Amino acid sequence: MKGILRHLPAFLGVALLLGAIYVVQHEFRHLKMRDIGEAMRAIPVAALVFSFIWTFVSYFILTFYDRLGTIYAGHKVSYGRVAFASFCAYSLSHNLGFAAVSGAAVRYRLYAHWGLTPLQIGKTVAFCSLTFALGGLVLGGAILFGEPKAVPFFGSYLPLGALYGIGALLWALVVAYITLSRLIGPFKVMGHEIALPGWRMALLQVLLATVDVATTATIFYALLPSAPGLTWLIFLGVYVSSYTAGLAANLPGGIGVFDTAMLFGLSPYLQAPQIVGAIVIFRLFYYIIPLFLAGILFAGNEILLRSGGLLKKTARPAAPRGIGAWTEPDFAIATATGAVGLCGALLLFLGLLAPEPDFAWLDGDYAEFAVRAGVFIPSLIGAGLVVMALGLSHRVNLAWGLSTLLLIAGAAFTATQDGLLWVSAVLILTVMLVAPFRGSFYRHANLLSGPLESSSAVSLFVLAFSLIGLAMTRPHMHTIANDAWWAIAMSPAVPPSTRLTIAAAVILAVLAIWRLLRPGKIRFLPWDDATRRRLIAIGGASGYNAAAIPSDGVVMGEAQRAAIPFRRVGPVLLGLGDPVGHEPDRISAIWRLRDLARQEGLHPAFWRTGADLLKVYADIGLTSLPLAADGSPLLESEETTEPGPDTQYLVCMAERDLATLVPLLPRLVEMNPGD
């Protein structure tokens, strides 16, 4: 059950994306790129300027989320720094999905350099996430009372009483939050102490978030032509519902899900090309341009920090020399990973937008092959790129190589179709974006992590069988104008047996690729005399007494040149100190211990680490807490000085595991009198 719940967000995202593909195919299958281009050219210049200004206003409002968040956390940061962190964090989270995670990584990277403790950064992140949710609740309630039928899908099927009841519940949650902020002090939930902001700040949160969501919706609304019956409040209902669906999907930028919901919700008022044209401009203004600007600013900040530039550093030293390629900024790596996922979604939807192909300028065998390929092969490449994005998120090196090959292949196929050269350009630009980060994807795939296992052999057989099945069905499909694989699988003009064969072949092939591509199963060495001697041979122990504390095992790095002992402590797999050994392989040892923890259903944590690898621990979603001389963690109220270069840390998911570890660590402290 835990495994199912852990993968539930991914399943939900895939289900919503498949639902979006079905709706677009069923309702908007005649949509063509030519019509969309004409609709975009028809948008007045004044509307474009107005939307661009409102985009600036929207990101300006978002800066006050972080401003209030740092005040709530107890460490007020100057507005200039807050604005910089806010812009980078939201530009990333808007485009890549998993907003809480991707935004938190950027905030940790920046706020840690400005003196905030991990707990203070966690409070800031939680405050920002809650603030946005409050705005959605306020406007959601207003929509359900004012224009309940504007909500896509549900507004037409649920009775008014149910919609009013949901609206009342949304407002009741907001009122309860403000009331609790006024009446109660800190309280505990599942062992974690929570202190709500004061009621005045809670009111500011509600007001700020409401204005923010309304402003963002206005960016889109200004791009639409006037239409009878389409009021701003009705549009707001469509927008909030669509944006919520995009967030729930956890896809990069809500791609496909947000767009389909907008298409469906606005279709009674506007033609599909007008809606899609506005979506393209909205994504350009609110997503793409801010992402590139934030990427440039963030890269410049990294250069300043590494060269001893203008921004304040804490006493935590940078990563040691020799591992720079292994610790590229999260922002750049996440952007490259998200771009591959977006390209995959683009190629999946290409069949809806592709004009009739014109191959008159091609000669020879390639022309015939391109005609037969149509958008069938590009749509298969799109499915493959979505899987590659998952592999890149796990830093698998094989995913990097295959992503590059698939992007180049997709560019070659789309270049043959008239009017789709821009798609080829996007794919080539993505190749240029991903290529420089080869060193950041260092983990071996399951297929390459050791001797061929039976599960890998079965996956290879399934993949080969699926590809043969697709090759056998494809020659009969070239007469269908819109012949993406999923379009054929849903087309009533195709025999059911063929539709089932294509759908099953693609799904099985995707699953087989992922099983081959995912990181290999982690094996660890037992704690015995041979393992102890091997540990000493590659560098000994760091931060704990190996003889005093018997470990449950040792995890080796990918290259078998670094190692880290561990113990199982309650629900936590606790690494004892930093990995020792060859510097680049120390990084992979950290990731492998994280994978072993997941493999066993435990939570990863590290005790008595140094400052050198704190950035790597942050990469896997952990926060660092300074330790007292006896090895017990200092609580935020006990931190009186800045951490020094010799400070040791407890690294864990503080909001989840700290309450578990604090009472258990004293036993390890008693076993470890020191080196």
Cα 30 to the chain's mean position, in Å? 32
Same-domain check for residues 260 and 169:
yes
Q: What is the pLDDT of residues 161-175, one digit of tens each?
A: 888 888 899 889 889
* Residue 328 binned pLDDT confidence (cut-offs 50, 70, 90): very low
Instruction: Name the residue type at position 163.
Output: L
Same-domain check for residues 334 and 483:
yes
Q: What is the pLDDT of residues 187-200, one digit of tens each?
A: 665 455 667 788 88
Residue tagged 């090895």 (tokens): 631
CA distance 586 to 584: 5
Q: What is the pLDDT of residues 521-540, one digit of tens each?
A: 788 888 888 888 888 888 76
Same-domain check for residues 489 and 355:
yes
Boundary of a domain, candidates 466, 496, 517: 517
Residue 154 lies in a domain: yes
Residue 50 above 60 pLDDT? yes
Same-domain check for residues 555 and 488:
no
Same-domain check for residues 506 and 558:
no
CA distance 164 to 139: 13
Query: For the chain, how many structural domains are there in total?
Result: 3
Residue 446 lies in a domain: yes
Q: Percent helix, strand, coil in the chain (nearest 5)?
A: 65, 5, 30
Instruction: Please tell me the pTM assigned to this model.
Output: 0.62
Looking at residue 259, its pLDDT comes to 82
Beta bridge partners of 539: none
Domain carrying residue 505: 324-517
Boundary of a domain, candidates 278, 306, 334: 306
CA distance 661 to 657: 6
**Kind and range of the H or E run holding 469:** helix 454-473
Looking at residue 452, its pLDDT comes to 65
Looking at residue 317, its pLDDT comes to 34
Looking at residue 321, its pLDDT comes to 29
Boundary of a domain, candidates 487, 517, 547: 517
Same-domain check for residues 510 and 533:
no
Looking at residue 335, its pLDDT comes to 67
Residue 311 lies in a domain: no
- Nearest alpha-carbon partner for 483 in 170, 29, 124: 29
Same-domain check for residues 476 and 590:
no
Residue 616 lies in a domain: yes
Residue 575 CB burial class (10 angstroms; 0-12, 13-18, ≥19): buried
Q: What is the mean pLDDT of residues 383-411?
A: 86
Q: What is the pLDDT of residues 202-220, one digit of tens each?
A: 888 889 889 998 999 999 9
Cα 214 to the chain's mean position, in Å? 25
Looking at residue 245, its pLDDT comes to 79
- Nearest alpha-carbon partner for 384 in 250, 249, 514, 515: 514
Residue 640 CB burial class (10 angstroms; 0-12, 13-18, ≥19): exposed
Which of 166-175, 543-552, 611-620 is modeled with the greatest confidence? 166-175
Residue 319 lies in a domain: no
Instruction: Give percent of the chain with pLDDT exceeding 70.
Output: 70
CATH assignment at residue 631? 3.40.630.30
Tokens of 202: 């809670």
CA distance 221 to 215: 10
Instruction: Give percent of the chain with pLDDT exceeding 90.
Output: 7
Same-domain check for residues 513 and 575:
no
Question: Among 394-408, 452-466, 517-531, which is the least confidently predicted range?
Answer: 452-466
Question: Among 179-183, 444-448, 545-549, which is the least confidently predicted range?
Answer: 545-549
Same-domain check for residues 160 and 295:
yes
Same-domain check for residues 302 and 347:
no
Residue 315 lies in a domain: no
Q: What is the pLDDT of residues 138-163, one digit of tens each?
A: 888 888 888 777 776 666 667 778 88
Residue 628 lies in a domain: yes
Looking at residue 545, its pLDDT comes to 47
Q: Is 271 helix (H, G, I), strand (E, B) or coil?
A: coil
Q: What is the pLDDT of residues 399-435, one digit of tens each?
A: 888 999 999 998 888 877 766 777 888 898 888 878 8
Looking at residue 192, its pLDDT comes to 53
Is residue 627 within 8 Å of residue 659, measured between CB atoms? Answer: no
- Nearest alpha-carbon partner for 509 in 392, 379, 421: 379
Q: What is the pLDDT of residues 93-136, one digit of tens each?
A: 777 655 544 566 677 777 877 778 767 887 888 888 888 888 88
Tokens of 661: 């570890």
- For the chain, the average pLDDT equals 75
Residue 360 above 50 pLDDT? no
Neighbours of 133 (CB within 10 A): 16
Residue 301 lies in a domain: yes
Same-domain check for residues 174 and 25:
yes
Same-domain check for residues 502 and 545:
no
Residue 311 above 50 pLDDT? no
- Nearest alpha-carbon partner for 420 in 348, 340, 358: 358
